Amino acid sequence: MSKPIALIFGSGPNVGYATVRTFLSNGYRVVQTSRSVKKLQDGAFTDDDDHKALECDVNDTASISRTFETVRAAWGQPSVIVYNAARLVKADPTDPFSSLSTSDFEATLRANVVGLFQAIKEAVVGFKALPEAERKAFFFTGNNLNELKPLPGFSTLGAGKSAAAYLVADADNAYQNKGYRFYYVDERFADGRAVVNEIDGQAHADYFYGLVKGTLTSPWWSTFVKGEGYVKFPWNR
């Protein structure tokens, strides 16, 4: 029996590497991607029969499609996808619309929204080809910025994450009855505050795996607390 496959976009030393370790240790083959393969190869992982590092630029939808094609050709269809890629151009919090260029704003949307759209499209193609019994999940690491409470200086990333949240919700609504789950993952402290710069990579990885295995459950807006799993807060629709 072939091993299930997890594919990570925008891997790195926090959420990405923890997710690689967690899924490898639970019998998955794992592909992690970044714009720099060398960066991933320096992350204590070597390419072998269960792990690959690939170059992928999420600003380019063709690069995303090529990544899926490469994984399918080598191992088969991925059943778990993590979209951890993001692009931020900081704005002057006192004058965001003068300090940001339109071209910078468009560039961030390509990574944060258009790239996600393409990854969801490719994921759905793959999910349809997998056995019905195989668990299928797509995770987007959102972490707070879809809330309609502007975070000063984060105009580009906030707009992108808000649009991304809609795409994730739309996908989960459309495909949940087929067994394909889509989650906007949002780590919180126990009191509901956003963790902001205290994102716990291993907590994310454990949460992803729990949702895939079915030991944890969550709606699409997946607010979770480390060690507790999904927590519904009063403001979480």
The CA-to-CA distance between both ends of the chain, in Å, stands at 40
Is the pLDDT at 126 greater than 70? The verdict is yes
Alpha helices for the chain (secondary structure H): 15-25, 37-41, 61-74, 96-99, 102-109, 115-129, 155-175, 201-213
Q: What is the predicted pLDDT for the residue at 4?
A: 98
Kindly state the percentage of the chain with pLDDT values over 70: 92
The dotted CATH code for 5-230 is 3.40.50.720
Taking residues 58-78, report their average pLDDT: 97
Q: What is the predicted pLDDT for the residue at 21?
A: 95
Is the pLDDT at 208 greater than 80? The verdict is yes
Range scoring the smallest mean pLDDT among 91-105, 131-145, 147-161: 147-161
> Residue 113: which pLDDT band, with cuts at 50, 70 and 90?
very high
More reliable by pLDDT, 203 or 46: 203
What residues does each domain of the chain span? Answer: 5-230
> Residue 43: which pLDDT band, with cuts at 50, 70 and 90?
low
Sheet (strand 180-188) strand order: 51-55, 29-34, 5-9, 80-83, 136-141, 180-188, 221-225, 229-230
Taking residues 16-27, report their average pLDDT: 96
Active site residues: 161
> Is 138 in a helix, a strand, or coil?
strand
Is the pLDDT at 54 greater than 80? The verdict is yes
- Which residue from 51, 68, 75 is spatially nearest to 9, judged by alpha carbons? 68
More reliable by pLDDT, 58 or 153: 58
Q: What is the predicted pLDDT for the residue at 152?
A: 66
Q: What is the predicted pLDDT for the residue at 48?
A: 86
